[in-house]
Amino acid sequence: MDKKLEALNKYTLLARSYGGSILVEDNTVYINAPREHLVDLASKLFNDFTCSFRTCIGIDERPLNGHFSVTHVFTDDRNSLYVLLKTYAEAEAPRIPSITNVVPAADWCEMEAHDLLGIEFVGRDHYRLVLPPEWPEGVYPLRKDVPYDYRPRVRGVSERLSMSTELGVIPIGPYHPALHEPEYFELYVEGERVVDLKYRGFHVHRGIEKLAESRMNYQQINFLAERICGICGFEHSTCYALAVEKAAKLEVPERAQYIRSIVLEVERIHSHLLWLGVAFHFVGYDAGFMHTWRIREKIMYLAELLTGSRKTYGINLVGGVRKDINEEKKQKTLEVLREVSSEFKQLVEVAINVPQVRRRLVGTGTLPKEYAVKLSVEGPVARASGIDKDARRDLPYAAYKYASFKVPVYGEGDNMARALVRVEEILESISIIEQLLDKIPKGPIMLEDFEIPEGRIGVQVVEAPRGGDVHFVMTGRGRPYRWRVRAPTYSNIPALKIMLKDQPLADAPLTIASIDPCFSCTDRVIVVRSDGRIERLG
């Protein structure tokens, strides 16, 4: 029996054995679960069928059917399938069983649905994750009856998390010393050894999902999605466009899909070079930092050549792309990539073997595979801990099925393993671009005259430099009824508690940086409060 058909039969039997219903469309399995069996079904998918847990989505469906709902997104990476496990809650006092006892990685997304939609998850403790502590009780911003421009009158309070009389408390934040993004960690130390960690993020929650669902049309959201992140914004706009195209069953021109994959790999090379430079700077090897960023400058030139912009490219639309690649650009791209490949190999051969680099990276910040699986970490963090997953290969999209590439996997789980995964991925990305430029077909780059019907679901994972971006779209009239974004840092931050425990304090900033965190991707507020005043962030 065909491997994929065998897997689909397995999911059908599973759903029916617990009284659920099942629907299969393309590469997505939809299971509607009775509330009383949600935990059993989630446990089967995660622990027995070894599916990856990606995120969950709370939806206010009261205007549609009188209920709230929560959809848990799993992926069966071996069979290239998305598995969506959905259950409903009553409109009055919505309550749904928590799955965190069997899927620990669902912790944050459940608390986000509690903060923003008021859904109670039965069988777990609740805490505020996204909304600030002074946010008024009973106001849930993602409910459809709360206007997008609602602004509560609140007064800012200190968010110092805790004090300890037995342990030293070292604050890191509100800005990371090298990453220049808002985040706040409290490290609890005994002498020079870290024994525990607390994290407070979501200082720059921007409310983009509400904005898109209330004010923007399908094409405008491409440009909003790209502004989620200053480094991997094209990954987000591609992920959003693919999710809408999947929901509407659009056949996007093949040439457009090639251009998307080519630009995605340019963005990956840029991101990994940026991270390597920061890592070298952290360990005091500034020669490595400057040479890495010198090479990165050539990639930024390449991005401008192909898209017109060094960053925030703005070429994605639902249905295709806005910029083509002519023969002159193709030849110049290949020339630049040859230079980058040669210079990068020479640099890495020296830099990775510098004694101070090896001493700081080898054996520090270790994440064992069992914890990486349990927390469903993403990207280089997962691959450095022995998890062989990459959405470009496992859940192919755009034009990746036309390229041959290796997915580097290491078993050590330390800072050096995460660095080596990124080093190898830069060279693989160069090879992918060369292959796709060689095979790029002729034809249009934009689909003309299409419609996006209401009530359709599209979910897409795009392998960004930091790991899988997830975009979920439920289509509405002229704009998404629900748009959910989950960046890979959202899944990787909880793993820092394991990576930092019993490690020297001096290595903490490097280990935090080793997940290549993007706090702006993960967060979402549009206001800051100071002395009772409310100010907008730009």
pLDDT in tens, 110-169: 999 999 999 999 999 999 899 888 889 999 999 999 999 988 887 777 666 666 667 788
Query: Do the Cβ atoms of 107 and 123 come closer than 8 Å?
Result: no
Cα 184 to Cα 189, 223, 366: the distances in Å are 16, 29, 21
Burial 66-88 (b: 16+ CB within 10 A, else e): eebbbbbbbbbbebbbbbbbbbb
Bridge-based pairing state of the strands 184-190 and 168-172: antiparallel
Tell me the two tokens of residue 8: 């689909």
Question: Burial level of 448, CB count in 10 A (0-12/13-18/19+)?
Answer: exposed
Query: Mind listing the pLDDT tens digit for each residue in 47-91?
Result: 999 999 999 999 999 999 999 999 999 999 999 999 999 999 999
pLDDT value for 535: 41
Helices 254-282, 233-248: inter-axial angle, 10-degree rounding: 150
Percent of the chain at pLDDT > 70 equals 93
Rounded to 5°, the CA angle 490-62-243 comes to 45
The CB density around residue 104, as the number of other CB atoms within 10 Å, is: 15
Bridge-partner residues for 69, per DSSP? 59, 88
pLDDT value for 182: 75
pLDDT value for 390: 98
pLDDT under 50: residue ranges of the chain: 524-538
pLDDT value for 140: 96
Question: Burial level of 361, CB count in 10 A (0-12/13-18/19+)?
Answer: buried
- Grouping H, G, I as helix, E, B as strand and the rest as coil, residue 57 is strand
Phi, psi at 160, each rounded to 5°? -55, 125
> What contacts 349, CB < 8 A, 6 or more positions away?
none
Bridge-partner residues for 533, per DSSP? 530
d(CA 296, CA 330): 19
Give the DSSP H or E segment for 530.
Answer: strand 527-530
